[in-house]
Each structure stands twice: as structure tokens, then as C-alpha cells.
């Protein structure tokens, strides 16, 4: 039995090397569970439309249930590779025809791989978006919990801009700032999951719909879509949700990369602000003293890699007309690669975070070094009637005199600087506590 779903108008079989070049099987095996669901819904569409008998539908559904179990056990993957299928969709069709020879020939009636792929990819995107949302919320919740702990400890930190000492903040303030992007990321994933299940392409056929009386409402309902898609040509070539999911993954990993960059530097002796457990560190094959924060470095590099892959995914679509073109197979592979890689990297990032220990004394001790309270001195002068330019110049002159001849600086300390902040959203402990409460509420709301 051939796994190809076409060939009647050809006199000769396809060139094996070119067929292998065109195969996407290794890219889209991950779609197998979703394709089985899609195929089951199509059987219902055929049955409810009167295209196939109930007996044939039962045989097909039974075969698909068997395939589903084989996917879970790993047996299907071996079958798919041995069958030399072009893609996972053809491999499932071939396996169903093996399990139910007579009814299996009816499975693809009224269906094209175009609407099949589009539907299966949406189901995959919805599931992965939900998984990514859960993961990002877990990261945000963990950072928020660590912030609560450090708020209680009162740990301070010299915040930087341009990697230069800027102003004293609470470490809890930094941790809350680290958590905020992941809440936004989770919201982005939540929107993507909803969008994925809005319109069901199944039943759109190759480009124009079907002449068979398919019950598209039945298949859309079976798959939990809100409704069938409105336009067959748009439905089979639409990859907006897939690109939105890839973008959400790239953005989330970019957020993880920025935090990783800071933690990598904090783990250096020059900073000495943090330390990774042995479980999250690696050594050198040559230098016995080394403790390398490799997981964080790999997260950083993976983020950059996925930015490039995302550009490739968009580029693969930019030159094609409406409807389906084989270019979209490359898009599909790129999207899946981005999503699966991002989820693995985020898992590693979350695990690495749990192995970070902050050197509280070192951080707090450095909080008011290198003139970090200079802005507070300038603000005090402004409060006494000086203009902003006058205050800036006066404080700058004090710093210059200190650097040149050691002139005494009678300035507030870091703790006073932090306590003196008055604006909403500032590093003042009361404001940080409020922000953490709001973060917890946002996380809980998105988790519902």
C-alpha cells in the first residue's frame, strides 16, 4: 500500500531523492495527535452530511482511535518513517487504510491536505499557546514569590542603566520588574489560544470548498472551534495564528534572555551578586576553578537563534499569492521548530532560576557606591528652590571635587534614597508591596 495520496495522473513514480527533499515528516510528526482529532472530525462531517454510512464512519473512528494509541506509544512514528510518507497527514491516512481497508478509502473524501494541514496546525497552536501561557505564568509567579521574600529581607541593589551604577533600588523591585514581562507574555499566549479556535478551515477543500454535502458545522463543533471559516481560499493559506504564536515565543524568550544576561554578569566575581547551585552550573575541562552559568548563556543564545528563524518563517510567506503554495511547508517547519525550541528553553530557564542564590550582603553593600544617591541630592536642592539645571550642575561639581581631592560628601545612604521615593510604581517598599499584590492578581486572573 502506498502512502502517497496522489499519483493517478502520473505515468512514473516520483524521483525518490526529490520525494525525500519534499518530505516534511520529521518536522510535523509532532502534529500527529492533532491530525487524528482533525481526521475524526472530518469523519463526522462526512457522516452527518450523508456522504458515508454510519457503519463506515464507525470503522474509521475505530481505526483512528487505534492510531491515537499508537502515537502515544511511539509505534506510529516508526510506521510513518517506514512508510516513506510525505508528511504526517499522509502517514495517518495510510495507517487508517491498513487498519480499515474498505472504509479507509473513504477517509479523504471531500478533503484536501490544504484544509487538513491548516486545521491541524491551528489545533497544535491552541494547545502549545496554552502550555506556553502556563509556563510563563509559572515563571512570573516564581519571580513574584522571590520578590516577596527579598522585600521582607530588605535587600538593596545598585540598579544600572548603560551598565553603569544608577540609583539604589530594592532587589524585590528588580524581581518584580523581571516578572512583569512574563505576565504580558502570558496574555499574548492567551490571546493566541483564543484566536486559534475562532474559525475552522476543515471542509474548505483545496481552495474552493467542496461539492460534497459536508457538515462543516459538525466538524467545527467536534474540534471546539467557534465556527467554520468564512472563505475557503483564505482559510487554507492563512498562517496568522501560527506566526502570532511564533512571535509570542520569540518575545518571551527575549525576555528570558535579558534576565539571563543580567544574571550571568551578577554571577561573575566582579559583581558577586548571585551564585548558581552546582546543579545549574558547569565546569571547564581545563580550568579547575571555573563555575559557568551555561543554562543562562544557552537561553541567551537560543533567543537570538529564534529571532532569525522567525524572520525566515515570515520570509517564506512573503512571496506567495493567496491560497496554498508549497512554500508554506517551510513555514510550518519553521513555526514548529520555533515553538518546540522555545518551550524547551523556557523550561530550562525556569529550572535555572530556581538554582539562583542572591548574595544579599554584597548587593546591599554596593547599593550606594559610585554616587548612586546623586539624584536624591539633586532632588533635595530642587525642593529647596533650585532649578533642575542648577541642581544637576551643583551635584556634578561635588562629585568632581570628591574625585579630584577627596572632598567630603554628606549624602543620604541607599536606604534613605529608597524610602524617599514617593511616586506610584517606584522602589519604595510600600509601592513594591502594592505592585506585587497587583502582579499576583494579574497572574491569578490569567491562570483561570
Query: Catalytic residues, which ones?
Result: 162, 284
In angstroms, what is the C-alpha Rg of the chain? 29
Contact 207, 235 (CB under 8 A): no
Helix (H) or strand (E) holding 156: strand 156-161
Supply φ then ψ for residue 397, to 5 degrees: -65, -40
Cα separation of 367 and 365, whole Å? 6
Paired residues of 227 in beta bridges: 199
Q: State the DSSP string of 341-363.
A: HHHHHHHHHHHHHTTEEE-HHHH
Contact 261, 300 (CB under 8 A): yes
Cα separation of 98 and 60, whole Å? 11
Cα separation of 433 and 65, whole Å? 52
Cα separation of 400 and 37, whole Å? 71
Cα separation of 322 and 206, whole Å? 12
Q: CA dist 404 to 48, 164, 199, 399, 407, Å? A: 88, 20, 70, 9, 8
Contact 354, 44 (CB under 8 A): no
Contact 286, 269 (CB under 8 A): no
> Which SS3 state, helix, strand or coil, does residue 6 take?
coil
Amino acid at each position: 500500500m502506498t502512502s502517497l495520496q496522489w499519483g493517478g495522473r502520473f505515468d512514473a513514480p516520483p524521483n525518490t531523492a526529490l520525494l525525500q527533499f519534499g518530505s516534511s515528516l520529521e518536522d510535523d510528526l509532532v502534529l500527529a495527535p492533532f491530525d487524528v482529532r482533525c481526521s475524526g472530525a472530518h469523519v463526522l462531517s462526512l457522516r452527518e452530511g450523508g456522504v458515508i454510512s454510519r457503519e463506515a464512519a464507525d470503522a474509521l473512528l475505530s481505526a483512528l482511535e487505534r492510531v491515537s494509541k499508537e502515537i502515544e506509544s511511539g509505534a506510529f512514528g516508526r510506521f510513518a518513517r517506514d512508510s516513506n510518507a510525505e508528511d504526517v497527514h499522509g502517514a495517518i491516512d495510510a495507517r487508517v487504510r491498513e487498519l480499515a481497508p474498505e472504509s479507509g478509502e473513504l477517509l479523504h473524501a471531500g478533503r484536501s491536505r490544504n484544509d487538513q494541514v491548516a486545521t491541524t496546525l491551528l489545533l497544535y497552536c491552541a494547545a502549545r499557546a496554552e502550555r506556553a501561557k502556563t509556563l510563563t505564568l509559572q515563571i512570573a509567579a516564581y519571580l513574584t514569590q522571590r520578590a516577596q521574600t527579598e522585600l521582607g529581607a530588605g535587600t538593596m541593589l545598585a540598579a544600572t542603566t548603560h551598565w553603569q551604577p544608577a540609583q539604589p533600588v530594592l532587589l524585590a523591585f528588580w524581581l518584580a520588574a523581571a516578572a512583569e514581562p512574563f505576565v504580558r507574555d502570558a496574555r499574548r499566549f492567551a490571546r493566541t489560544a483564543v484566536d486559534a479556535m475562532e474559525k475552522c478551515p476543515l471542509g474548505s477543500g483545496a481552495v474552493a470548498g467542496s461539492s460534497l454535502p459536508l457538515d462543516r458545522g459538525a466538524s467545527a463543533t467536534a474540534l471546539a472551534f467557534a465556527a467554520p471559516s468564512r472563505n475557503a481560499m483564505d482559510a487554507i493559506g492563512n498562517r496568522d495564528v501560527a506566526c502570532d504564536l511564533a512571535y509570542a515565543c520569540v518575545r518571551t524568550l527575549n525576555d528570558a534572555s535579558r534576565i539571563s544576561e543580567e544574571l550571568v554578569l551578577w554571577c561573575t566575581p566582579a559583581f558577586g551578586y548571585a551564585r548558581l547551585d552546582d546543579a545549574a552550573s558547569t565546569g571547564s575541562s581545563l580550568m579547575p576553578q571555573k563555575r559557568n552559568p551555561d543554562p543562562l548563556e544557552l537561553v541567551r543564545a537560543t533567543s537570538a537563534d529564534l529571532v532569525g528563524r522567525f524572520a525566515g518563517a515570515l520570509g517564506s510567506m512573503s512571496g506567495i499569492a493567496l491560497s496554498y503554495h508549497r512554500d508554506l511547508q517551510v513555514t510550518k517547519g519553521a513555526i514548529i521548530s520555533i515553538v518546540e525550541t522555545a518551550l524547551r528553553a523556557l523550561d530550562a530557564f525556569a529550572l535555572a532560576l530556581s538554582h539562583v542564590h542572591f548574595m544579599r550582603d554584597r548587593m546591599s553593600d554596593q547599593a550606594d557606591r559610585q554616587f548612586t544617591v546623586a539624584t536624591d541630592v539633586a532632588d533635595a536642592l530642587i525642593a529647596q528652590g533650585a532649578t533642575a539645571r542648577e541642581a544637576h550642575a551643583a551635584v556634578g561639581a561635588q562629585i568632581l571635587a570628591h574625585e579630584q581631592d577627596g572632598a567630603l560628601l554628606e549624602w543620604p545612604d541607599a536606604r534613605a534614597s529608597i524610602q524617599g521615593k514617593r511616586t506610584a510604581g517606584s522602589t519604595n517598599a510600600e509601592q513594591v508591596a502594592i505592585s506585587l499584590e497587583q502582579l499576583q492578581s494579574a497572574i491569578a486572573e490569567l491562570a483561570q
